[in-house]
Structure 1
Amino acid sequence: MTISIHIIDAFTNVRFKGNPAAVCLPAAELSERQMQQIAAEMNLSETAFLLPCDDGSYSLRWFTPLSEVDLCGHATLASAHYLWENGKLGLQEPARFHTRSGLLGAERIRDGIRMDFPSEPVVQTAAPEELIHALGLIPRYVGRNRMDYLVEVDSEETVRSLRPDFALLARVDARGIIVTSRSQDYANNGVDFVSRAYFPSVGVNEDPVTGSAHCALAPYWQKKLRKDELRGYQASDRGGYVQLRTVGERVFITGQAVTVLKGIMAE
């Protein structure tokens, strides 16, 4: 069976920045074991698997090197880019994905690709002891949604200088930990907030740019800054900018993508 695999950098318009995802469009449905094996071989934060549906939409599943996840933004962005770039969808045709988090959409706009995702607001909670010790700081705020913890710290400098204990962080009972602060330089770069995101429990110590994390970050900073439209920067080594607009229970996430590698898995 032929399996086409493309590696696409998401939330960037230049290669080797943003967050790389592998996008697979197999000729026939794969088993979960096969998808997990391919994702482990790719060894990227997520590998996306697409399967066409009769109505022109696609089934979409996401796997880290260790497990399947419920929601992934950058691999969805990469998947939509793949479909348009390879003529699977017309350039003006929206992409529709059936996922473990419901129906997700994407469309091409002037600024890039705009995705329609669920809002995942956090609720304030006590910080687990492992989280505090792993980060080595006292947070301003700790919240939790169905997937992750969100931790606000005192400054952008603190976000950028973090060196977590990943072994201890992996013991926190959550998919991941998002650390954020208000940006210190909005006047020059238009960035409202910065963040970093850690997912050691699913095999990704630090994710370069995490679309799904912004489903929590967008409503959080919308409330704090009283702005429906926001610009975030994820301050990993690769880095990436994310444009956000919150409308009710949806978050519209806009980014760009660029293909780095195209290949066929050997039979």
Structure 2
Amino acid sequence: MKLPIYHVDAFTDKLFCGNPAAVVPLNEWLSDETMLHIAAENNLAETAFYVKNEAGFDLRWFTPTIEVDLCGHATLAAAYVIFNIQKEERQQISFFTRSGELTVTLEYGWLTLNFPIDQYQIAVPPPALVESINNNLAEVYKGKTDYLVVLDSEEDVKNLDFDIIVLSTIPARGIIVTAAGEDVDFVSRFFAPQSGIDEDPVTGSAHTTLIPYWAEKLSKNILTAKQLSKRGGYLKCELAGDRVNITGQARLYLQGEIEVD
């Protein structure tokens, strides 16, 4: 059986930047095992699979090792394929996922994800977090799946000294590290060795925690952000009640077919 596949760089307007995701449109679901094998074969942070339904699209995300509950960049990549390659005529589409209904709106070439905010609280950092990140941890919070670590400056985030082996022992999906930005409102990096990703280039789902935190900290609901990975990424952000709007661009890198038994 031949299946179409697309490789999209998300949260960037330049190739070889942002966060690459694979997108596989389906007419009906494959087995979980097969989708996990495809994601492992792609060896990207996430592969998105979707099936069209009467109201929109059912959407699932797989890393090379697990299925995840929420992924921003692969959602943006899937929406890019639907709008730009499959020529969806509507300006807004709905995805139905393990995290509920998520909408994506296309406007002037920018794609806006509407996601639920994360609920987070002050946390005592586990010893492995203190050991692995050799910086002053100004503040530490725990959300639904991730720890949020606030550092003193953008330079501290950019030049972060960390031990990925020790970091991988922390019981969480991943670790968000953030600080106020110099030419944007805030910057971040995201580490998820527990999910098979040492450092994620641009993490939309992490911004469900970052946006409400920085909106309160900076007393503003409209924000700009950069993720300071090697590939880098730029996001426009908005806190909208108990939801966040995460806006970015995307570029198609590759399209082709895969063979599945």
The answer, yes or no, to whether TM exceeds 0.5 is yes
Which residue of 167, 179, 182 maps to 1:181?
A: 179
Q: Is 2:91–2:107's contact at 8 Å kept on the other side of the alignment?
A: no
Question: What is the RMSD of the two structures over their aligned residues, measured on CA atoms?
Answer: 1.1
TM-score (norm: length of structure 2)? 0.97
**Take 1:217 and 1:71, find their aligned partners in 2: how far apart are those partners?**
15
* CA drift at 1:85: 1.3
TM-score (norm: length of structure 1)? 0.95
Q: Is 1:153–1:181's contact at 8 Å kept on the other side of the alignment?
A: yes
Q: Is 1:2–1:26's contact at 8 Å kept on the other side of the alignment?
A: no
Which sits farther off after the overlay, 66-75 or 22-31?
22-31
Q: Is 2:116–2:242's contact at 8 Å kept on the other side of the alignment?
A: yes
Which sits farther off after the overlay, 159-168 or 208-217?
159-168
* Residue 266 in structure 1 maps to residue 259 in structure 2: yes
**Take 1:226 and 1:111, find their aligned partners in 2: how far apart are those partners?**
29
Q: Is 1:39–1:65's contact at 8 Å kept on the other side of the alignment?
A: yes
* CA drift at 1:138: 2.8
Matches within 5 A, 1:32-51: 32-51=32-51
- Unpaired runs of at least 5, structure 2: none
Q: Deviations over 1:65-117 (max 9, x none)?
A: 11011110000000000001122521x43111011110000011136001110
* CA drift at 1:56: 4.1
Which residue of 210, 232, 237 maps to 1:239?
A: 232
Q: Name the SS of the counterpart of 2:49 in structure 1.
A: strand
* Residue 102 in structure 1 maps to residue 95 in structure 2: no
* CA drift at 1:24: 0.5
Matches within 5 A, 1:1-267: 1-53=1-53, 55-87=54-86, 89-90=88-89, 92-110=90-108, 112-183=110-181, 185-186=182-183, 191-267=184-260
Q: Which amino acid aligns with 2:66?
A: S
Q: Deviations over 1:41-70 (max 9, x none)?
A: 0111110011111x1411100111110111
**Take 2:31 and 2:105, find their aligned partners in 1: how far apart are those partners?**
29
**Take 1:192 and 1:121, find their aligned partners in 2: how far apart are those partners?**
21
Instruction: Report the CA distance shift for 1:111/1:2 in structure 2 as closer, same or farther (over 3 A).
Output: closer
**Take 1:68 and 1:224, find their aligned partners in 2: how far apart are those partners?**
33
Q: Is 1:2–1:27's contact at 8 Å kept on the other side of the alignment?
A: no
Q: Is 2:27–2:52's contact at 8 Å kept on the other side of the alignment?
A: no
Q: Is 1:5–1:22's contact at 8 Å kept on the other side of the alignment?
A: yes
**Take 1:238 and 1:227, find their aligned partners in 2: how far apart are those partners?**
28
Q: Is 2:77–2:250's contact at 8 Å kept on the other side of the alignment?
A: yes
Instruction: Report the CA distance shift for 1:117/1:178 in structure 2 as closer, same or farther (over 3 A).
Output: same
**Take 1:227 and 1:68, find their aligned partners in 2: how far apart are those partners?**
34
Name the % identity: 45
* CA drift at 1:166: 1.2
* CA drift at 1:230: 0.4
Which sits farther off after the overlay, 247-256 or 114-123?
114-123
Q: Name the SS of the counterpart of 2:28 in structure 1.
A: coil
Which sits farther off after the overlay, 102-111 or 225-234?
102-111
Deviant stretches of 4+, over 3 Å = none
* CA drift at 1:163: 3.3
Q: Deviations over 1:225-244 (max 9, x none)?
A: 00100001000000001100
**Take 1:28 and 1:117, find their aligned partners in 2: how far apart are those partners?**
25
**Take 2:220 and 2:143, find their aligned partners in 1: how far apart are those partners?**
21
- Unpaired runs of at least 5, structure 1: none
